[in-house]
Amino acid sequence: MSTISNKVTPLEEYLFDLNGYIILRNVIDAHQLASANAIVDSCPKDLKTGEWWGNVQVQSYSETDGINLQQIYEAGKPFEELIDQPGWIEKVKHFVGGEGTFDWLHGPLFLDENFFSIRGPGQAIGLHSGGETGTKRTQFRYHNGHFQCGQINILMAFNDIGPGDGATMVIPGSHKANFPHPSFEEHKMKHGETKSVEGVEGAIEVYLNAGDAILFVDAISHGSAARVNDGERRICVYRYGPSWGYFRHGYRPSEALLDRLAPEKRKMVHPHEAALLPPQ
């Protein structure tokens, strides 16, 4: 288990407020990486979008953005551990905010969505989000001395992601934008079309080593470069929001998962259900 400090530093606060993201180094250890990758390796390779592997579903937006293994926390202990991974969970709570308010009625956070993404050569995802949309679910907000963000994403690298590997791309500061990027329509995410963020002025690639993660508010404009190298890009995304949020997709945690989880993890996975449990 990682021993990286969980406290938000003044520099992290500044950079997150300024850019909309921060990079977290070495927050998943080698044992977790190996165990999680071994589980993904055991997934049948012939599964198609919409099919199930136990309680995990294969999902994609098009044939050109790879596959997502949705509800990956159902796949085994390494992914259950990531629900409240020490290297980021207190930082996520800080940026989602709500402590000391009604937002914490059911618990400190809600894990809205979780998936493992695999992309091969030629695959990418186009530009999406941006502060100008004002989307409540993904909003960036700082008020009265506290962050109050609607969705904080942890994007974890399960192998090294460098030049040519299809890295995540962001437009720093775009979480506060009042106008859409002039190239947005040309590069935006579209179902069924190959799109990437390459060529968008101001967008940068975020390179990660296996075990690193990028923490970002979903309001930032983001997407990816197209992978040109051989092999796979392997990442995992856990999306967190306030405990009063609800599931983005139609997925629900299985009873078997809920029974296995410790109380704090269970509250994050299903805070509405947890709030109705009788005292133990």
Q: What does each of the 280 residues of the chain score in pLDDT, given as a tens digit? A: 444 558 899 999 999 999 999 999 999 999 999 999 999 999 998 999 999 999 999 998 877 889 999 999 999 999 999 999 999 999 999 999 988 887 777 789 999 999 999 999 999 988 888 999 999 999 999 999 999 999 999 999 999 999 999 999 999 999 999 998 888 767 665 554 556 676 788 899 999 999 999 999 999 999 999 999 999 999 999 999 999 999 989 899 999 999 999 999 999 999 987 555 555 4
209 phi and psi, to 5 degrees?
A: -90, 155
Kindly list the domain boundaries of the chain, sorted by start residue. 20-275
Cα gap 42→264, rounded to integer Å: 29
Cα gap 16→154, rounded to integer Å: 13
Give the strand pairing for 146-147 and 204-206.
unpaired
Options 3.30.420.40, 3.10.20.70, 2.60.120.620, 1.10.1660.10; CATH of 20-275: 2.60.120.620
pTM: 0.92
Report which secondary-structure segment, H or E, holds 52.
strand 52-53
Structure tokens that stand for 266 in this block: 């269970």
Collapsing DSSP to helix, strand or coil, 206 comes out as strand
